[in-house]
């Protein structure tokens, strides 16, 4: 993808999605992204889970080229989506509307499962806490 100027960062946990746009030209972008993954995984995982961080690849090979999409699957997912404009980033972010995702995911789910998901999201995917983590590393646009 040519002219990558922005990265849409999406933090996903069950049906909950939080989106943030950052500059792809930010100094040390790759190292910051790897640090973000570690901090988000620490927050999203249960305290009793201790395993290696997941970067989508081994750390040395992860996201060496910011022109492509980067998916990290762990306790919830993290997506780094390259964009050429803020408008493009915002358009893509619309696809991650948590309310629409919730309605789709809840079809056929039992009340106890819905309650369990909501409790886990409250504990491991607060918008405020995710935003604090992202902003501690990147300048969010």
Contacts with 111 (C-beta within 8 Å, 6 or more apart), sequence order: none
Residue 14 has pLDDT above 70, yes or no: yes
Residue bearing the bigger pLDDT, 117 or 135 = 135
Average pLDDT, the chain: 89
Contacts with 114 (C-beta within 8 Å, 6 or more apart), sequence order: 106
- Tell me what pLDDT residue 1 has: 47
CA distance 13 to 27: 28
Instruction: Enumerate the domain spans of the chain.
Output: 6-135
Residue bearing the bigger pLDDT, 67 or 77 = 77
Residue 57 has pLDDT above 90, yes or no: no
| Residues 70-95 pLDDT 10s | 999 988 899 999 999 999 999 999 98
DSSP-derived 3-state class of residue 108: coil
| Residues 100-111 pLDDT 10s | 777 777 777 888
Residue bearing the bigger pLDDT, 98 or 54 = 54
């Amino acid at each position: 993808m040519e002219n990558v100027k922005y990265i849409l960062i999406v933090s996903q946990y069950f049906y909950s999605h939080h989106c943030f746009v950052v500059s792809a030209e930010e100094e040390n972008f790759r190292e910051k992204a790897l640090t973000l993954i570690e901090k988000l995984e620490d927050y999203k995982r249960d305290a009793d889970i201790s395993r290696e961080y997941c970067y989508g690849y081994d750390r040395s090979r992860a996201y060496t080229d910011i022109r492509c999409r980067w998916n990290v699957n762990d306790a919830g997912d993290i997506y780094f989506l390259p964009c050429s404009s803020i408008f493009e980033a915002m358009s893509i972010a619309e696809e991650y509307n948590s309310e629409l995702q919730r309605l789709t995911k809840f079809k056929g789910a039992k009340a106890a499962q819905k309650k369990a998901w909501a409790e886990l999201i409250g504990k491991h995917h607060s918008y405020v806490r995710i935003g604090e983590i992202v902003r501690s590393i990147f300048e969010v646009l």
